[in-house]
Amino acid sequence: MKKVSQLICSFALGTLIALPALAQPLVPPNSPDYNPKASYDGPYKLNTWSISAHVGPSMFFGDLREYDFWPVNTTNNVDSHKESGTFQGGLTINKQLSYLFGARLDGSIGNLRGMKRRNYNRYFEGKYTDVSLSGTVNLKGLLIGPNKMKRWKIDAYAGIGQVFYDATAYDLTGGVKLRETGKKNDWIVPTGLNINYEVSKRIDIGLDFRLNHTNSDYLDATYGGDYSRNPQDGFSIKDQKTSRKGNSELDSYGYGSIQLTYKLGKNPLKVQKVDGKWDYKPDEGGYYHLRYTDPRVLIKAPKILTLEEMDSVAKANRPKDIDPRLLLDTDGDGVSDFFDKEPNSPAGSVVDGSGRVIDFDSYVKNALATGVACAEIFANVQFDTDKNVLKPEFQEMLKNVASIMNRNGCRLQLAGHADRRASDRYNVALSRRRVEAVKNYLINEAGLKDPSKVIVDYFGSFKPIADSASRPGLQKNRRVELRLLP
């Protein structure tokens, strides 16, 4: 029994030390019920506090004990004194820190009895009050996992506390008082096993078995190795000044209790049977208790869709078809047919933002003379197949554009394009060379003073404005679009 309790004590104390590192949230906040201050893993809020009451028989283990687990249960006589009939009761405040680890604050009161015929020929009676703080380990969750025995909780625990006691030892034959402790206190190390079953959303019933290891050999008012029977033999009651270890093991005491637990928290939920299986429904508007619920089981695994389901979802979320007129520029003036008010402008025309043909020479003269504000103007510069050499017929227009930009501070957006008769990689590079050719002409030949006003893009053959199946269509797609902006 001693080795088992020491093992439980070491294991639980070690886990209690590890709690700060183990009880950290790992799951990102993906729920409106996410609790950023929670010490447990998972996106949902859970109730974590509970309070328990326990009552049951107590038992002493020490010098004045006839048998460890079978108390003498006879009527009192000249050589026996009843050891059974002792009870204890108390309260426990439980705090679950994570699904596997928690803490409990215990307080209990009780009485103890014991006797020893051999050597001592005495018995004792005493009462005690103890307080302790323990760390708990969820053995069920640790060894079996969260998906089995979902309404059961089995904890091992260990901690540290204080016991306050008052005991008196008597001669077994005549009932003469031999020793008394007076009011003393000492350290205890409680170890135990706690078994609970979830009866309802609020109530658990269970059993609690505890052994308290004391730092005293005087809990039975008898110092180990002191066989004297009478104060007259040289030991008065007040001579015993120490409560530490004598020539025998330190005293221990414990109990077995029936326990009733009330789970605190708002809107409690408990696991339910769904289609013959125990399952959780976290969306019912309440909160499960961390005593029984691993927060990670509340995270539903993503559904893997079949091909038919994916096709159905894709069809349901498919955007409306784009008006094909947005992608076409039949007259090649730089304004898509959807917005073009004059969709049949002559080739090489300069147009305004609505696609209407304007007299660019008159516009330039007016702009240079009066300093009129920039207007949105579109034009295209076309190129020969696989060429980035600027044709002479577009040079005068580019000089006028540079003059307007120098005079009024306009901006210019250039977008290079190619027809489809090459690889995408080659076409992108070609459209870039065409844009650079126009920009270099504006700077080096047309006298553009501020090159930062020029915005450059290139798209290869990805944005055609005409049908690439015909020669005229291919010609329209080999272009650099000019867009003069305010």
| Concatenated DSSP letters of 273-302 | EETTEEE--GGGSSB-BTTT--GGGGSPPP
Model confidence over 31-64: pLDDT tens digits?
555 566 666 656 678 899 999 999 999 999 999 9
The CATH number corresponding to 2-298 among 3.40.50.150, 3.40.50.720, 3.30.70.100, 2.40.160.20 equals 2.40.160.20
Q: What is the number of helices (H) and of strands (E) in the chain?
A: 7, 16
CA distance 246 to 244: 7
Identify the residue with better confidence: 371 or 76.
76
Q: What is the pTM of this model?
A: 0.57
CA 321 vs CA 94, 297, 327, 468: distances in Å: 61, 42, 12, 21
pLDDT at 310: 80
Residue limits of CATH 3.30.1330.60 in the chain: 324-485
Model confidence over 207-259: pLDDT tens digits?
999 999 999 888 998 887 666 555 444 444 444 544 566 678 899 999 999 99
Neighbours of 92 (CB within 10 A): 21
Cα 266 to its chain centre, rounded Å, is 21
pLDDT at 400: 86
CA distance 167 to 324: 99
Model confidence over 305-333: pLDDT tens digits?
788 878 787 777 777 766 666 666 766 66
Residue limits of CATH 2.40.160.20 in the chain: 2-298
pLDDT at 18 over 60: no
Mean pLDDT of 265-271: 89
CA distance 419 to 384: 10
Mean pLDDT of the chain: 82
Provide the CB-side half-sphere exposure for 90 (13 A, CA).
Answer: 25
CA distance 122 to 114: 9
Name every residue whose Cβ is closer than 8 Å to that of residue 319 and which is 6 or more positions away in sequence: none
The 3-state DSSP class for residue 234 equals coil
- Cα radius of gyration rounded to whole Å, the chain: 45
C-beta separation of 430 from 460 below 8 A: yes
C-beta separation of 361 from 373 below 8 A: no
pLDDT at 309: 79
pLDDT at 182 over 80: yes
CA distance 404 to 409: 8
pLDDT at 409: 81
Identify the residue with better confidence: 286 or 104.
104
CA distance 375 to 360: 12
Please check whether the domain covering 324-485 is classified as CATH 3.30.1330.60.
Answer: yes
pLDDT at 94: 97
